[in-house]
Amino acid sequence: MIKKILITLIILMALTINFSATSIELDDEEDLVLTSGSLRGASRVLAQDYVERKVAQVQTVARRNVSMLRLINKTVGFAGKKCKHQEICCKGKCVNLMTDKRNCGGCNNRCKRGNSCMLVMCRASRFLAQHSRGLVKCNKNPRLCRAKGSPGPDCCKKKCVNVKTDKQNCGLCGKKCKHQEICCNGKCVNLMTDKRNCGGCNNRCKRANSCMSGMCSYA
């Protein structure tokens, strides 16, 4: 009986050493009990009591380490599994926050149905997500231009644009601003001289002032 308990003790101690750096130190007197010579001189009751106490200690440490391992497993899936450099662990699964529509930009941040995840942001259209902005053709489906992630809400010559800011389609499709002009609120203006848009859109100079070189003049 004692021999079986000793074997169990040795196995459990070996497992404990593998799972944890926690050690169980023995007193000098107790160390003697483990030797074959001292076992002969010790009473069977004392030896059995000692072994049972040590088995209980080892089991306690083992249970604590197993609980910790289970806690870790909830985070990383299972021991030994490593996520790739660009991935993180969400609920035990390796995910890429840049492209995972169920964890877009953060764990459990789901994109809406039909959306995709691009650069940690949910995009409102799969079509827009799979094509560069310059290649989006809206002539057959103008609603694409009103989706989030679109270059603009207006469809001009098969491209999504914003007629309030697009120099090639300022105010309406096909209206181009001059080289020195930009499009402000659908109008072509010269930021260097326009006192209603002096140096920037909607930057108005005060009454009686003029705009020179993009700055309001008080002369």
Tens of pLDDT, residues 157-204:
888 899 999 999 999 999 999 988 889 999 999 988 888 888 888 888
Burial class (CB in 10 A: 0-12, 13-18, 19+), 121: middle
Residue 20 has pLDDT above 70, yes or no: no
Q: What is the pLDDT of residues 74-119, one digit of tens each?
A: 445 555 678 887 787 888 888 887 788 888 777 887 887 667 777 6
Beta-bridged to residue 216, according to DSSP, are 211
pLDDT top residue among 10 and 93 = 93
What is the Cα 210 distance to its own chain's centre? 51
The average confidence (pLDDT) of the chain is: 68
Q: Would you say residue 54 has pLDDT above 70? A: no
Residues 54/9, Cβ–Cβ less than 8 Å: yes
Residues in the chain: 219
- E-strand stretches of the chain: 88-90, 93-95, 116-118, 121-123, 154-156, 159-161, 182-184, 187-189, 210-212, 215-217
Task: Output the pTM of the full model.
Answer: 0.39
> pLDDT at position 164, please?
92
Q: Is the pLDDT of residue 212 over 60?
A: yes
Closest CA to 156 of 186, 126, 200: 186
Kindly state the average pLDDT of the residues 23-36: 41
pLDDT at 119: 61
What is the per-residue pLDDT for 204?
A: 87
d(CA 112, CA 128): 15
